[in-house]
Amino acid sequence: MVLLGSLPASAQTAGKISSRTTEKTVGVRDFRSPHFLVHTDLEPEAARDLLKRLETMLKLIAAYWGRPPSGIIECWVVKDLQAWPPEMLQQFDPQGLAKIKEGAGVSVGQTLTRGNRFLAKARVYAVARGGVPQHEAVHGYAQQTFGRTGPQWYAEGMAEIGQYWQPGVKGVNAVEGVIRYLRSQPPKPLTKLIVNDQRIGGTWKDYAWWWSFCHFLDNNPNYSAAFRALGPQLLAGRDTGFRQVFGPRAKELEFEYRFFLAHLERGLRSDLCGWNWNKKFIPLRSSSSAITATVKAGSGWQPSSAILQEGAEYSYKTTGKWKVGKPPQSVSAAGTADGLGRLEGAVLTESETEYALSKPFDLGESGTFRSPASGNLYLRCKVPWTDLPDGAGKITVRIQLSSKKP
Ligand SMILES: [Zn+2]
């Protein structure tokens, strides 16, 4: 369910349903599409528009979960309760009516017996605002098709992904209110995020956290395959725990999730920001040892393979050019006059419990620098994080020790 009542106004603007207030009474009518039966007081044009968006969402989520929808999903979508005759409201599920009065929604799952067969049936109730009907329809599809919605963190995180889903869009597209809220909060530890209760519901703040976590896992190349394989298992009711799948990589995952939250913005491409944890690093102990690294303009932080000592001085030289910006400009690792496309570095340190990244420092075409920490050197092409898809090409960097700690 979605508690839109408590969402800031700016967080309600997802998937615009026509909210024209032409106050003519059109009454409650039925609208049908291949997988939905919608009872609503929306104007016919707005209702048909909603059905189109529901079908698009359903197609995406059914392909994602690898199971065609079972049966017709029946929805009650309410713009104005006053427009509904009392005898119709009496047929509402009490939970559904209560949620609509709160300005929210719910999908009520039922098991029906037909002869000696059990059929799962969902009744979806939603206010005709924002992405509420799509969110609840994700639950409805899961209830009818799998007979369950999965653990709470997953059910609600995926329902939020469903309401934001647009074909072909890979970047973050949650509403501003949700992004602002997440950026204003300290990161939530994984132990608090993973709520395994087999139910749906929560506050919009809970949904913001679960959405961010599911979006991150679904898009980051280090975790997306395992996450996509985990989904159908959770919906099949197998008790494959999150810990079993991701436990051995929890430290890396937590670091990358925090990094995602720290850089969260509309358009951020988590799929371009995965950290390469498999790269082998070697210490640069003498001026005769050097490493050569390739850095791509269109990716996040990339491993250099050099282990640096805090305070030691290193020299570096780059070759090649990359393209940055819109329209694309071809520049060396010195970047443009205003610093766009400049090579930058940061040092990743590791303790027993966590990874930490130093403050980034500017590099350029060639020169020397002192390492701010002892750890692994990462490099990137300096562009706003949301502009990574505009980057193209790569440069080569050669780094060696120039003098040890003074
Ligand atoms: Zn929900």
The region of weakest confidence among 239-243, 368-372, 385-389 is 239-243
Distance (Å) from CA 340 to ligand 1 centroid: 42
Average pLDDT over residues 51-67: 94
How do 105-114 and 282-283 pair as beta strands? unpaired
- Please check whether residues 36 and 140 belong to one and the same domain: yes
Structural domain of 376:
282-403
- Please check whether residues 142 and 156 belong to one and the same domain: no
Q: Tell me how far apart the alpha carbons of residues 1 and 31 are, in angstroms, rounded to a whole number.
A: 22
The residue ranking higher by pLDDT, 389 or 260, is 260
Average pLDDT over residues 103-122: 82
Distance (Å) from CA 119 to ligand 1 centroid: 22
Q: Tell me how far apart the alpha carbons of residues 390 and 327 are, in angstroms, rounded to a whole number.
A: 9
Distance (Å) from CA 127 to ligand 1 centroid: 13
Local confidence band at 3 (pLDDT 50, 70, 90 cut-offs): very low
Number of domains observed in the structure of the chain: 3
On the question of pLDDT at 6 being above 60, the answer is no
Which of these three, 147, 170, 205, is where a domain ends?
Answer: 147
- Please check whether residues 287 and 204 belong to one and the same domain: no
Q: Who's near 36: CB < 8 A, 6+ residues apart?
A: 51, 54, 55, 58, 72, 73, 74, 75, 137
Residue 351's domain is classified under what CATH number?
2.60.120.430
| Total residues belonging to the chain | 406
- Please check whether residues 136 and 24 belong to one and the same domain: yes
Residue 17's domain is classified under what CATH number?
3.40.30
- Please check whether residues 141 and 179 belong to one and the same domain: no
Local confidence band at 117 (pLDDT 50, 70, 90 cut-offs): low
Query: Could you read off the pLDDT of 165-192 as tens digits, one per residue?
Result: 887 889 999 999 999 999 999 999 998 9
Which of these three, 274, 309, 324, is where a domain ends?
Answer: 274
Which of these three, 147, 170, 198, is where a domain ends?
Answer: 147
Distance (Å) from CA 214 to ligand 1 centroid: 14
Residue 128 carries which DSSP code? S
- Please check whether residues 129 and 15 belong to one and the same domain: yes
| pLDDT at position 374 | 97
- Please check whether residues 169 and 259 belong to one and the same domain: yes
- Please check whether residues 90 and 167 belong to one and the same domain: no
- Please check whether residues 1 and 136 belong to one and the same domain: yes
Distance (Å) from CA 201 to ligand 1 centroid: 5
Local confidence band at 405 (pLDDT 50, 70, 90 cut-offs): low
> In this structure, what token pair is assigned to residue 236?
């099949």
- Please check whether residues 230 and 339 belong to one and the same domain: no
- Please check whether residues 27 and 133 belong to one and the same domain: yes
Average pLDDT over residues 35-42: 97
Residue 137 carries which DSSP code? H
Distance (Å) from CA 363 to ligand 1 centroid: 47
Query: Could you read off the pLDDT of 216-250 as tens digits, one per residue?
Result: 999 999 999 999 999 989 998 887 778 889 988 99
- Please check whether residues 286 and 371 belong to one and the same domain: yes
Distance (Å) from CA 236 to ligand 1 centroid: 18
- Give the three-class secondary structure for 231: helix
